Structure 1
Amino acid sequence: MKILHVIPSVASVRGGPSQAILQTVKALRSLGVDAEIITTNDNGDDVLDVPLSKLVEYKQVPIQFFPRFSPKINSIREFAFSSQLTAWLWQNAHRYDLLHVHAIFSYASTAAMAIARLHNIPYIVRPLGQLCEWSLQQSARKKQIYLNLIERANLNHSRVLHLTSRQEQQEVSRLGLRVPSFVLPHGLSIPPIIPDARYRLRQQLKVPPDEPVILFLSRLHPKKGLEYLIPALGKLKHHRFTFVLAGNGSPEYTNELQSLVASIGICDRTHFAGFVEGESKNLLMQGSDLFALTSHSENFGLAVLEALAAGLPVIITPGVALASVVEQHKLGYVIPQNISAIANALDDCLNSPQLTKQMGDRARQIIHDKYTWNHIASNLIEIYTAIIEKKNLPHLD
Structure 2
Amino acid sequence: MKKHLRVIASMDPASGGPCQGIRNSIPALQELGITTEVVCLDATDASFLGKDEFKITALGPGKTPYGYTAALKPWLEQHLGDYDCAIIHGLWLYTSFGTYHTWKQLKDAGKQVPKLFVMPHGMLDPYFQKAPERRFKAMRNRLFWQLLEKQVINGVDGVLFTCEQELLLARTTFPGYHPKAELNVGYGIQEPPQKTRIQQQAFLEQCPQAATQPYWLFLSRIHQKKGVDLLIQAYRSHYRQNPHIPILVIAGPGLETPYGAHLKNLAEGLPIYFMGMLQGDAKWGALYGADWFILPSHQENFGIAVVEALACSTPVAISKPVNIWREISDARAGLVFTDDLEGVTSGLEHLLVLEERLKQEYAHSARELYQTRYRVAEAAAYLKQILQQHE
**Structure 1 contact 162–181 (Cα < 8 Å) conserved:** yes
In 2, the alpha carbon distance for the partners of 1:22 and 1:207 equals 32
**Structure 2 contact 195–288 (Cα < 8 Å) conserved:** yes
User: What residue number does 1:277 align with?
Assistant: 279
Q: Quickly say closer, same or farther: Cα 1:198–1:126, change in 2 above 3 A.
A: closer
Q: 1:31-72 deviations in whole A, cap 9, x for unaligned?
A: 1113211112259xxx71478xxxxx64111111112135xx
In 1, the alpha carbon distance for the partners of 2:30 and 2:344 equals 42
1:151 deviation in Å?
0.6
Q: Supply the RMSD in Å over aligned alpha carbons.
A: 2.1
**Counterparts in 2 of 1:198-277, with a 5 A limit?**
200=201, 205-207=207-209, 211-237=213-239, 238=242, 239-249=244-254, 250-262=256-268, 265-266=269-270, 269-277=271-279
Identity of aligned residues (%): 26
Q: Which amino acid aligns with 2:141?
A: K
Mapped pair 1:103 → 2:104: no
1:293 deviation in Å?
0.6
In 2, the alpha carbon distance for the partners of 1:37 and 1:207 equals 40
Which segment drifts farther, 203-212 or 342-351?
Answer: 203-212
User: What residue number does 1:112 align with?
Assistant: 99
User: What residue number does 1:334 align with?
Assistant: 336
User: What residue number does 2:164 align with?
Assistant: 166
**Structure 1 contact 203–209 (Cα < 8 Å) conserved:** no
Instruction: Work out which of the residue numbers 143, 149, 155 in structure 2 matches 1:151.
Output: 149
Instruction: Work out which of the residue numbers 69, 74, 81 in structure 2 matches 1:87.
Output: 74
Instruction: Give the 3-state SS of the residue equivalent to 2:55 in structure 1.
Output: strand
Q: Quickly say closer, same or farther: Cα 1:346–1:191, change in 2 above 3 A.
A: same
Mapped pair 1:371 → 2:374: yes
Which segment drifts farther, 306-315 or 190-199?
Answer: 190-199
Structure 1: which 5+ runs fail to align?
A: 52-56, 71-75, 389-397
Q: Which amino acid aligns with 2:97?
A: T
**Structure 2 contact 25–189 (Cα < 8 Å) conserved:** no
1:379 deviation in Å?
1.3
**Structure 2 contact 199–281 (Cα < 8 Å) conserved:** no
User: What residue number does 1:24 align with?
Assistant: 25
Q: Which amino acid aligns with 2:372?
A: D
In 2, the alpha carbon distance for the partners of 1:65 and 1:208 equals 39
In 1, the alpha carbon distance for the partners of 2:370 and 2:234 equals 28
Q: Quickly say closer, same or farther: Cα 1:345–1:116, change in 2 above 3 A.
A: same
In 2, the alpha carbon distance for the partners of 1:92 and 1:60 equals 20
1:177 deviation in Å?
1.8
In 2, the alpha carbon distance for the partners of 1:182 and 1:48 equals 33
In 2, the alpha carbon distance for the partners of 1:292 and 1:117 equals 43
State TM-score, norm by structure 1.
Answer: 0.87
Q: Which amino acid aligns with 2:224?
A: P
1:136 deviation in Å?
3.1
In 1, the alpha carbon distance for the partners of 2:198 and 2:215 equals 12
**Structure 1 contact 247–273 (Cα < 8 Å) conserved:** yes
State TM-score, norm by structure 2.
Answer: 0.89
**Counterparts in 2 of 1:380-391, with a 5 A limit?**
380-388=383-391
Which segment drifts farther, 191-200 or 181-190?
Answer: 191-200
